[in-house]
């Protein structure tokens, strides 16, 4: 991957945004249990940061995906994973399929204002009974003339309590489970939608996660993205951007934890010298930095394939798997050197320790990533089709 001056300029804009608009408020948002997404997204929309690799006709910058991953690395620097995750939902989880397969009217109604930061989106895939097993979801959109009538519920939805619309994966047909689903754009103020109170989580405290209920929700069939019953395939494609974004957004964040730990252990005197002077400590910092560089190489390799129009699923899944494992290991091992300070609630390392637990669960658990990788290695046993 060759980076240009434009990549550097973009990185600087994003990094300044993190320093000025996110970091000073993160503690307050963590305590409140939510971040003001409409305010944050509007500021980002004004800078063009919500549509870096989205089409110019709808207000995007039309740049290739390497710029989006440079953005992800920088936005991930924020002190706390909640807001970068909310932003990632908007840029890389609920809009890629709309931008790629949506018709012009849908893009005018939902994509354009979302890139401008006027609307907040969310992605509705998981359900109480279907998380890892996406194909097993039960929410259905029944045909009724020119409309769908939607019934069911979606669980664990990031941005749910603030979202203006949901990109919903629902059953629309009677065919096999991989060919009976559609992605449907549903405004959240449609009659019949209710949202739970935010779910109380161990980490990502400033992210509002909720359950969405659909009770005879009527939307026009023209809100279907692309072809009806191709939603499962579109969602699997959309997951690749989600996974690359997640991996990239962890890189600088992990490096920030290493830097903080180096600074702390250099200052902290134990047995008459800096804690950092112990070989076990500086070797650990060197080893963790090496691991981060290895993940960076893997993530950018996936990006290369994606930009070349090749199938990046295997490398993106590997990057997501490695992200979850490494981030959890790194936050735990760095926290150790902070002693009791690392065990206090407001310590940046303890926040990282809590926030990163989710990375091996959400967006496809580690085992789901390994299943995908094993399929690509052609070593998965055959299972009967459902």
Active site residues: 242
Among the residue ranges 14-22, 70-78, 150-158, 284-292, the one whose residues contact ligand FAD (CB under 6 A): 150-158
Among the residue ranges 11-19, 99-107, 187-195, 355-363, the one whose residues contact ligand FAD (CB under 6 A): 355-363
Give the dihedral of Cα atoms 92, 97, 103, 105; nearest 10 deg. Answer: -40
Of 61 and 85, which has the nearer Cβ to ligand FAD?
A: 85
Which one of 362, 369, 372, 373 is in contact with ligand FAD (CB under 6 A)? 362
Of 296 and 351, which has the nearer Cβ to ligand FAD?
A: 351
* 369 binds ligand FAD per the rule CB under 6 A: no
* 368 binds ligand FAD per the rule CB under 6 A: yes
State the minimum distance, in angstroms, from the CB of residue 339 to ligand FAD. 29
Nearest CA-CA partner of 145 in 255, 49, 233, 222: 222
Of 115 and 206, which has the nearer Cβ to ligand FAD?
A: 206
CA angle at residue 240 from 236 to 241, to 5 degrees? 125
Where in 114-133 is the site for ligand FAD (CB under 6 A)?
122-126, 131-132
Nearest CA-CA partner of 92 in 119, 122, 62, 113: 122
Which one of 61, 363, 372, 373 is in contact with ligand FAD (CB under 6 A)? 363
Which one of 157, 212, 318, 330 is in contact with ligand FAD (CB under 6 A)? 157
**E strand or H helix at 183:** strand 181-187
SS3 of 261, please?
A: helix
Q: Which residue is nearest to ligand FAD (CB)?
A: 131
Which one of 47, 237, 262, 365 is in contact with ligand FAD (CB under 6 A)? 365
Give the sign of the dihedral formed by CA 80, CA 83, CA 88, CA 94: positive
Contacts of 350 (CB under 8 A, 6+ apart): 335, 342, 343, 344
Question: How far is the C-alpha of 148 from the C-alpha of 221, rounded, in Å?
Answer: 6
Question: How far is the C-alpha of 9 from the C-alpha of 276, rounded, in Å?
Answer: 34
Contacts of 317 (CB under 8 A, 6+ apart): 243, 364, 369, 372, 373, 376
State the minimum distance, in angstroms, from the CB of residue 153 to ligand FAD. 11
Question: How far is the C-alpha of 74 from the C-alpha of 207, rounded, in Å?
Answer: 19
Size of the site for ligand FAD (CB under 6 A): 23
Of 135 and 297, which has the nearer Cβ to ligand FAD?
A: 135
Where in 189-248 is the site for ligand FAD (CB under 6 A)?
201, 204, 209
Contacts of 61 (CB under 8 A, 6+ apart): 48, 51, 52, 53, 54, 67
Among the residue ranges 6-14, 17-25, 107-115, 364-372, the one whose residues contact ligand FAD (CB under 6 A): 364-372
DSSP 360: G
Of 106 and 155, which has the nearer Cβ to ligand FAD?
A: 155
* 262 binds ligand FAD per the rule CB under 6 A: no
Where in 72-111 is the site for ligand FAD (CB under 6 A)?
89
Residue ranges that bind ligand FAD, judged by CB under 6 A: 89, 122-126, 131-132, 156-158, 201, 204, 209, 358, 361-365, 367-368, 371
């Amino acid at each position: 991957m060759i980076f240009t001056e434009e990549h550097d300029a973009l990185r600087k804009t994003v990094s300044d945004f993190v320093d000025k608009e996110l970091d000073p408020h993160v503690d307050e948002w963590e305590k409140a249990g939510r971040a003001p997404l409409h305010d944050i997204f509007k500021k980002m929309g004004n800078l063009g940061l919500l549509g870096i690799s989205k089409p110019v006709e709808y207000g995007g910058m039309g740049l290739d995906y390497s710029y989006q991953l440079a953005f992800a690395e920088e936005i991930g620097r924020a002190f706390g994973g909640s807001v970068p995750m909310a932003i990632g939902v908007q840029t890389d989880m609920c809009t890629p399929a709309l931008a790629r397969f949506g018709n012009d009217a849908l893009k005018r109604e939902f994509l354009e204002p979302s890139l401008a930061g006027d609307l907040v989106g969310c992605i509705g895939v998981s359900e109480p009974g279907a998380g890892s097993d996406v194909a097993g979801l039960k929410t259905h959109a029944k045909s009724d003339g020119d409309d769908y009538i939607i019934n069911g519920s979606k669980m664990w939805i990031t941005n749910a309590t603030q979202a203006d619309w949901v990109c919903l994966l629902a059953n629309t047909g009677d065919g096999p489970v991989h060919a009976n689903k559609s992605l449907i754009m549903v405004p959240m103020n449609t009659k019949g939608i209710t949202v739970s109170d935010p779910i109380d989580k161990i980490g990502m405290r400033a992210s509002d996660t909720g359950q969405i209920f659909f009770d005879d929700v009527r939307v026009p069939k023209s809100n279907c993205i692309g072809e009806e019953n191709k939603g499962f395939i579109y969602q699997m494609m959309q997951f690749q951007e989600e996974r690359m974004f997640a991996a990239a957004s962890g890189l600088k964040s992990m490096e920030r934890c290493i830097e903080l730990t180096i600074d702390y252990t250099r200052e902290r005197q134990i047995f008459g010298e800096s804690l950092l002077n112990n070989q076990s400590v500086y070797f650990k910092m060197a080893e963790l930095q090496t691991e981060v560089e290895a993940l960076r190489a893997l993530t950018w390799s996936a990006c290369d394939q994606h930009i070349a129009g090749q199938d990046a699923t295997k490398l993106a899944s590997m990057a997501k798997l490695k992200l979850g494992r490494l981030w959890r290991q790194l936050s735990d091992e760095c926290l150790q050197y902070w002693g009791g300070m690392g065990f206090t609630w407001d310590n940046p390392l303890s926040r990282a320790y809590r926030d990163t637990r989710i990375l091996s669960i959400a967006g496809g658990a580690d085992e789901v990533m390994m299943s995908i990788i094993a399929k690509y290695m052609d070593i998965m046993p055959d299972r009967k089709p459902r």
